[in-house]
Amino acid sequence: MNKVHISLLALAAACTITPMAMADSIGFSVNTTAHGVTSSFVPSTLHSGGIYVGPSGTLGAATWSGVSITVSSQDDPSANFLITGILTIGSITGGGGTGDYITAASSYATNQEGDGTVTVTSASCTGGLHPGTCLSGDLDTGAYSANTSSAGHPGGFSGEFTTTYISPYITSKLDDTDIILDDGLTQVGYSTKNNAVTIHGPASNPTSISDTGTLFTAGIQDLQVGSVVPEPSSLFLLGTGLFAGAMLLFWRDKWVRGRKSLSQSV
């Protein structure tokens, strides 16, 4: 059997036996100043040399209302589209973590652990189990930091959440399936400006340190979903067709060799 036969048989086997696993990475982004602020606080347990340290408290919710949200596909950027809706990164409460504020560096930071939610809602997201919901998930960890001495007093949050629902409207627009892969672990983040830190209580023994910032951009990325692939029946038919073609070539060559051997013996 020559190389052509072997190649066809191998391809046939791959199509009829091995499933084709494909994935796409979906993202949501807001690139506009939002209509709100976010805040967090650190209950202070130590004050020494201009350093305030304590366990993390609550990180407030961040909500972008009535904004244009870009929905993107890593697999096919040409399929990207816009929806108008609300993106919410809910508050993280009830967990542990640490926080600090260093006055000399005007640096504020918290590492948050607890329970929160992430949602994207829009009237565009029709159908599915939750009409009006484009995306939802459970947020349980993240970090927020800010610098009140730099120009614009910038800050930002980054974390990850477990995606629990993706609207079929979103996936169908991107030619994907609504099957969430890799346990739905998705990245989320946002930026802030005009951060301001407040020390509550006497400076020698404050009760807490809080930060407030104006919401700016936001993004959700690396949401892994299944890509649309040929139906299993189509793959099976393709595989069996290739197999039949390979066997036809094999028997034709065998018949030709047999005829040559017969003619030489006469």
Query: Which tokens go with 12?
Result: 């046939």
Q: Is 265 exposed, middle or buried (0-12, 13-18, 19+ CB in 10 A)?
A: exposed
Residue from 217, 212, 183, 216 nearest 199 by CA:
212
pLDDT at residue 46 tops 70: no
The candidate with the shortest Cα–Cα distance to 194, out of 219, 170, 169, 212, is: 212
* The most confident of 18-27, 66-75, 239-248, by mean pLDDT: 66-75
Per-residue confidence (pLDDT) for residue 253, from 0 to 100:
54
Can you say whether residue 194 is alpha, beta or left, with left for phi > 0 and alpha for psi between -120 and 50 degrees?
left
Q: Which amino acid is at 260?
A: K
| b (16+ CB within 10 A) / e for 225-235 | bbbeeeeeeeb
121 closest CA partner among 63, 79, 75: 63
Q: How far apart are CA 192 and CA 209, in angstroms?
A: 18
Residue 257 has pLDDT above 80, yes or no: no
* Residue 67: pLDDT over 70: yes
Residue 21, pLDDT above cutoff 70: no
Tokens coding 182:
């890799």
Task: Flag whether pLDDT at 127 surpasses 80.
Answer: yes
Ordered alpha helix ranges (H), the chain: 3-17, 168-173, 232-265
Q: Is the predicted pLDDT of residue 6 greater than 50, yes or no?
A: no
Domain boundaries, the chain: 24-230
Percentage above 70 pLDDT, the chain: 73
Query: What is the pLDDT confidence band of residue 45, given thresholds at 50, 70 and 90?
Result: low
- Which of the residue ranges 31-40, 102-111, 202-211 has the most confident prediction, judged by mean pLDDT? 102-111
4 phi/psi in degrees, rounded to 5: -65, -45
Sign of the C-alpha dihedral computed for residues 7, 241, 19 and 134 taken in this order: positive
pLDDT tier at 229, thresholds 50, 70, 90: low
Contact 179, 225 (CB under 8 A): yes
For residue 229, give Cα distances in angstroms to 22, 26, 232. 7, 17, 9
pLDDT of residue 223: 94
Contacts of 248 (CB under 8 A, 6+ apart): none
Local confidence band at 16 (pLDDT 50, 70, 90 cut-offs): very low
Closest CA to 160 of 182, 183, 138, 191: 138
